[in-house]
Copies of this chain bind each other. A is one copy, B any other.
Amino acid sequence: MLPTLTDIHAAAVRIAPYAHRTPVVTNHSLNKRLGATLFLKCENLQKVGAFKFRGAANAVFSLSEDEAQRGVIAHSSGNHAQALALAARLRGIPAHIVMPSNAPAVKKAAVAGYGAKITFCEPTLEAREATQAEIVVQTGATIIHPYNDLRVIAGQGTAAVELLAEVPDLDVIMTPVGGGGLLSGTAVAANALKPDIRVIAGEPTGADDAYRSLQAGRIIPSVRPQTIADGLLTSLGTLTFPIIQAHVEQIVTVSEEEIINTMRFLWERTKLIVEPSAAVPVAALWHKKVDLRGLNVGVILSGGNVDLEKLPWL
């Protein structure tokens, strides 16, 4: 059972009291440079600085009172961890976050700042899953997967609903793709609202499992992916892959250098702080990996969480 527009509309109502309706900005010099008219949906201005809050909030506020009281859990050191921690705090329930012991101090502090209980483990997937499982047994907490979860996918789709409400005449909608939560939620929403819209994703060459999976017609996970776009290291899931297969026209890959120089250009021209992952779809346009000249292109700027002490172009 895959999420439908009805699920996404329900998610929109559910999270409306908590999430920002983020602005859509346009930028003349960017458009001139790209030859297309871009409408940037600023999820970097979302709570916790990323679209991830939408999915986490929808999942947390979908729980029954009984489930909710036992708390929620995820293993993540990224934006999902912060998003889940904040959503749980807003509902007044415990959040357990399993993090590798080598996670950056700044990420630990951010998650702790939202009131989550952090459990550290060895930095392997096995250790993370095992630690998570132990806590689930002890507490009865509900696992909220960062993307392979219908409630999360529906939540992520709400950004596209807002964008299309504000700019109905989009020809194309673009997102980055990591695990595929944002892309699949966007694809379901956009396809249902506007069947002729084209859904295109950008992906780093160094973590191109979605590109290869679509080519092969089956999930081919990334092995030791490497990219500065740290939100996109994950591979497609069993729920996100079939949606993407059904509704996404194309996955376009970009190099590390292309990501960094596009990120730099976006900062300079739009005055928005975007993280490398958010620059990925725009990099596909800027580096002419896809020809969308003359079209109205919605782009979901996925997030803005960047270490301001270490900018990649300095």
Given contacts A23-B25, A272-B273, A314-B314, contact A267 B44 (CB under 8 A): no
A23 partner residues in chain B, CB cutoff 8 A: 23, 25, 42
Q: How far is the CB of A88 from chain B (nearest CB, A)?
A: 15
- The listed residue (B20, B25, B26, B267) touching A308 by CB distance below 8 A is B267
Interface string of A269-287 (1 = CB under 8 A from B): 0111110000000000000
In this assembly, does A59 line the interface, its C-beta being within 8 Å of a C-beta of chain B?
Answer: no
Q: What is the bound-complex CA distance between A33 and B57, given in angstroms?
A: 23
The interface bits of chain A over 134-162 (1 if a CB of B lies within 8 angstroms of the residue's CB, else 0) are: 00000000000000000000000000000
Q: How many copies of this kind of chain does the complex include?
A: 2
Q: How many Å lie between the Cα of A268 and that of B26 in the bound state? A: 22
The verdict on A309 contacting B304 (CB below 8 Å), with A44-B271, A272-B271 known, is: no
Q: Are B273 and A304 in contact (CB under 8 A)?
A: no
> Is A45 within 8 A of B271, CB to CB?
yes
Minimum CB–CB distance for A314 against chain B, Å: 7
Judge whether B44 and A264 touch: CB under 8 Å.
Answer: no
Chain A interface size, as a band, is 20 to 34
Residue A194 is within 8 A (CB to CB) of chain B in the complex: no
A218 at the interface (CB under 8 A from B): no
- The answer to whether the Cβ of A47 comes within 8 Å of any Cβ in the partner chain is yes
- Which residues of chain B are within 8 angstroms of A20 by Cβ–Cβ distance? 25-26
CB interface residues, A 21-54, toward B, < 8 Å: 23, 25-26, 28, 42, 44-45, 47, 49
CB of A1 closer than 8 Å to a CB of B: no
29 contacts between A and B (CB under 8 A): A20-B25, A20-B26, A23-B23, A23-B25, A23-B42, A25-B45, A28-B47, A44-B271, A45-B270, A45-B271, A45-B272, A49-B271, A264-B308, A267-B273, A267-B308, A268-B308, A271-B272, A271-B273, A271-B274, A271-B304, A272-B272, A272-B273, A273-B273, A308-B311, A308-B313, A309-B313, A311-B311, A311-B314, A314-B314
Known contacts A271-B273, A272-B273, A309-B313; 10 additional CB pairs below 8 A are A20-B25, A23-B25, A44-B271, A45-B271, A49-B271, A271-B274, A272-B272, A273-B273, A311-B314, A314-B314
